[in-house]
Amino acid sequence: MSYRIDNLQYCNWSENIFRINNKAKLDAVHVTIAYHEDFDEVQNNINQWQVYFNDFKDLIFHGKTYKDIEKAHKENKTAIFFGFQNCSPIEDNISLVETVHNMGTVFMQLTYNNQSLLATGCYEENDSGVTRMGKEVIKEMNRVGIIIDMSHSAEKSTLDAMQISEKPIVVTHANPSFWHEVKRNKSEILLKELSQSKGMIGLSLYPHHLLNGSNCSLESFCEMVAKTAEIMGTECIGIGSDLCLGQPDTVVEWMRNGTWTKNRDYGEGSADNAAFPRQPEWFKDATGFNNLEDGLVNVGFNKEEVDGILGNNWFNFYKENIF
Amino acid sequence: MSYRIDNLQYCNWSENIFRINNKAKLDAVHVTIAYHEDFDEVQNNINQWQVYFNDFKDLIFHGKTYKDIEKAHKENKTAIFFGFQNCSPIEDNISLVETVHNMGTVFMQLTYNNQSLLATGCYEENDSGVTRMGKEVIKEMNRVGIIIDMSHSAEKSTLDAMQISEKPIVVTHANPSFWHEVKRNKSEILLKELSQSKGMIGLSLYPHHLLNGSNCSLESFCEMVAKTAEIMGTECIGIGSDLCLGQPDTVVEWMRNGTWTKNRDYGEGSADNAAFPRQPEWFKDATGFNNLEDGLVNVGFNKEEVDGILGNNWFNFYKENIF
């Protein structure tokens, strides 16, 4: 059995995008339903997803456990798993961890770029690691079954989270910094620790995480995957494309600025390059998984390894941890 | 003219307590209206204060600038100034800084013991200093006129705040750690920097901040004031008693635990000493200002210095910064 899973998308959702994901044979997509939203706002987002699930029931449904990936595969649909790129929806209330899990959330980042109540984001100058509340929330996430995602967190915080968590943690969408050194990408030390703790990384196709950005070649990306596999092994590597299809540039501005500053922050971009970056030609949308398949074969991965990277590794992680 | 100011109380407010403060000739009290409250909850607390201002208009009124201290003195009333011991009321929204100022808030702590979105609290293991959002919020607090209070913050965060803020910052309620070394008390370095930047410290009468706790002697306290004055000069020393008269022990439990942990945290207390501590005999309530007056004379302060410490120094700070 081979599954295809994209473990991070934040598209401007529409029938068209669900059809593209279906055409790409994605059995599961982990979708972001919160960047800066508080609890009430995330409920509104979930309400909107109920509308999508109802309107496009031939294409998608709400995924809650690994069994929904099997179901989606059988029915040629895509199981949609909810996740937060920030801890803002639990506000300052540890009880909301269980509540958001009951609402169907299976991934939560402890931080989004900035310092949160739980840990330090990768854009902060100093990283004090997982906080007092963070330690408590990690235990609670372990208890209720929400996976800790450190994609946008700083290094010490991420290493702390691995130590504190009794379950494997993940980086749903980032690349190794040996290939492209930016704040969002991850060090070799971190990758090694992640694989030793049975965690996962979803490699990102977002141009700011790619060597040469929008002009990154498929070959360069796949060579990076091969080198990452040398460091981590193949089994803990998946894809988290970070596709933001159809989003207007006002959305990336909101992602970067939320309501935390009155100045303009450009995040991974810059004043003269503030927009959403153009996707590489070979990964304009999820059908790019087919190009990845070819590219990974070309750098020497065997079929089982390619299937692992394109979905089975994430499936196995879900089977172990989301049930 | 000599004013008496207690720059921190969090009592279980009642006519009786307002009468005690009036009897103690307090012209102004800075009252805490938020520990863990979010924006909506702090609005409810302000609504409750509107009821007090209406019901006890012969004793108290809402103070907004230093002129209200002059007015209170003339009318034998106490001006009540609002402050937060946490940044929770502004949530993650910098625009709320101006909003809470418009609602009459003049002091805000950047943290309450734990890490916040703005800075690190004094109970955290590591102190990463003022965060990205913290820097923006300090600028905004400077702009709208809310005073930065670092009473419950960690050292680097406090030193950062002094550097970043264009206006003096304060420690409304704490003591020097040379006298009693606990997490809430402040180092000599910090005290020196505070005085050099024209900030203020309000010395605390809360037993956990006192040498020998509830059994601290008036002499010991006043000798500490004298030594603090050698370090900082006298002009930046005031009182912030931290009186919590009439509060049930459920309140101190809530102050310590809020909603951030499912375990029990005892803060400055311990499992077998979890309750609000007993006040020293010589400072059972604000009428203890009279004992302080005697005690400060006995350790060698002259009348002007005593008047300064018991209120005029805070008055001068308000005159410079809250207008």
| Mean pLDDT value of segment B239-250 | 97
For residue B264, the chain A residues in CB contact (below 8 A) are none
Q: Measured between alpha carbons, how far is B287 from A65 in angstroms, rounded to an integer? A: 63
- Inter-chain residue contact A260 with B38, CB threshold 8 Å: no
Looking at residue A223, its pLDDT comes to 98
Looking at residue A1, its pLDDT comes to 84
For residue B116, the chain A residues in CB contact (below 8 A) are 117
Instruction: Sketch the domain layout of chain A as residue ranges.
Output: 5-321
| Mean pLDDT value of segment B236-254 | 96
Across A209-222, b (16+ Cβ under 10 Å) vs e yields bbbebeebebebbb
Nearest CA in chain B to A122: B132
- Inter-chain residue contact B128 with A133, CB threshold 8 Å: no
- Inter-chain residue contact A94 with B262, CB threshold 8 Å: yes
Extract the tokens encoding A245: 């299809």
Nearest CA in chain B to A115: B117
What percentage of residues in chain B have a pLDDT greater than 90? 99
Beta-bridge mates of residue B148: B108
For residue A114, the chain B residues in CB contact (below 8 A) are 117, 131-133
Rounded to the nearest angstrom, the gap between the alpha carbon of residue B96 and the centroid of all alpha carbons in its chain is 21
What is the distance in angstroms between the Cα of A168 and the nearest Cα belonging to chain B? 22
Question: What's the pLDDT tens digit per position in A128-140?
Answer: 999 999 999 999 9
Q: B5-321 in CATH: which number? A: 3.20.20.140
Site from B133, B155, B164 to mutate, A interface, most A CB atoms within 10 angstroms: B133
Q: Do residues A208 and A174 make contact, with C-beta atoms less than 8 angstroms apart?
A: no
Interface of A with B (CB under 8 A): 36, 38, 88, 91-95, 114-117, 120, 123-129, 131-134, 136, 140, 258-263
For residue A123, the chain B residues in CB contact (below 8 A) are 132
Extract the tokens encoding B287: 């009428």
Site from B112, B131, B152, B183 to mutate, A interface, most A CB atoms within 10 angstroms: B131
- Inter-chain residue contact B131 with A140, CB threshold 8 Å: no
For residue B266, the chain A residues in CB contact (below 8 A) are none
Q: Measured between alpha carbons, how far is B267 from B256 in angstroms, rounded to an integer? A: 6
Of B311, B300, B154, B156, give the one whose Cα is nearest residue B235.
B311
For residue B260, the chain A residues in CB contact (below 8 A) are 92-94, 117, 132-133, 136
Relative to beta strand A78-84, strand A28-34 is parallel
Distances (CA, A) of B203 to A198, B218, B274: 51, 13, 23
Written as tens digits, the pLDDT of chain A (323 aa) is 899 999 999 999 999 999 999 999 999 999 999 999 999 999 999 999 999 999 999 999 999 999 999 999 999 999 999 999 999 999 999 999 999 999 999 999 999 999 999 999 999 999 999 999 999 999 999 999 999 999 999 999 999 999 999 999 999 999 999 999 999 999 999 999 999 999 999 999 999 999 999 999 999 999 999 999 999 999 999 999 999 999 999 999 999 999 999 999 999 999 999 999 999 999 999 999 999 999 999 999 999 999 999 999 999 999 999 99
Statement: residue B1 has pLDDT above 90: no
Tell me, what's the ipTM? 0.93
For residue B36, the chain A residues in CB contact (below 8 A) are 92
Residue among B115, B117, B259 whose CB faces A93 most closely: B259
Nearest CA in chain A to B135: A261
Question: What's the pLDDT tens digit per position in B88-140?
Answer: 999 999 999 999 999 999 999 999 999 999 999 999 999 999 999 999 999 99
What is the distance in angstroms between the Cα of B117 and the nearest Cα belonging to chain A? 5
- Inter-chain residue contact B115 with A124, CB threshold 8 Å: no
Nearest CA in chain B to A36: B92
Q: Measured between alpha carbons, how far is B267 from A93 in angstroms, rounded to an integer? A: 18
